[in-house]
Amino acid sequence: MTEARQFIPLNIAVLTVSDTRTEADDVSGQTLVTGLTDAGHRLIDKKIVADDIYQIRAIVSQWIADGKVNAIITTGGTGVTGRDGTPEAVTPLLDKVLDGFGEVFRMISYHDIKSSTMQSRAVAGVANATYVFCVPGSSGACRTAWESLIKDQLDFRTRPCNLVQLMPRLLEK
């Protein structure tokens, strides 16, 4: 018989990357906030930033350095246009990249948006014991990423394994 595990609430920060969104119309950011709070996690911070590599990197770096932040989810800036720079901003900050996140996200998205999923540059990784997930800016993509991937991996009860159970070992050398 498998031992029951208790839910461990995490502190999660949400960053919306957009040149046009405000708190009043940030549907994607709110989709993530609702998902994480409904799951029992705590929203530790939420910001909106222009699609600028250095502004994105500054905020994500601040959260990575804050020992109270367990996970960061960004939405937006993962496409292929000239202003899309979230992967370029975040990837250099990562200690380890979780290649499977982007691969599985695109596989799941294919069922809804077919070959358009190849335009997504969703990425994830870990930096200074903080999990970082970068997902596309549509509310549908945010819902897919949260419901199909992130929610279960940030739940200690998920079997056979999850990212939470690895947290005590993330800073090992």
Digit-coded pLDDT (tens) for 2-15: 678 999 999 999 99
- Identify the three-state secondary structure at position 15: strand
Among 130, 139, 173, CA closest to 11? 130
CA atoms within a 13 Å half-sphere pointing along the CA-CB vector of 125: 16
Is residue 56 domain-resident? yes
pLDDT at 1 exceeding the cut of 60: no
Query: What is the tens place of the pLDDT at every residue in 16-43?
Result: 999 999 999 999 999 999 999 999 999 9
- Identify the three-state secondary structure at position 57: helix
Q: Given this model, what pLDDT does residue 121 score?
A: 96
The CA distances from residue 111 to 28, 62, 105, 125, 144, in Å, are 20, 36, 11, 24, 11
Q: Given this model, what pLDDT does residue 88 score?
A: 97
Q: Where are the beta strands (DSSP E) in the chain?
A: 11-17, 42-49, 71-75, 96-97, 123-127, 130-135
Is residue 75 domain-resident? yes
Number of domains in the chain: 1
Q: Is the sign of the CA dihedral 102, 107, 113, 117 positive or negative? A: positive
Q: What is the residue range of 134's domain?
A: 11-168
- Identify the three-state secondary structure at position 109: helix
Is residue 6 domain-resident? no
Q: What CATH code is carried by the domain that includes residue 136?
A: 3.40.980.10
pLDDT band for position 173 (cuts 50, 70, 90): confident
Is residue 173 domain-resident? no
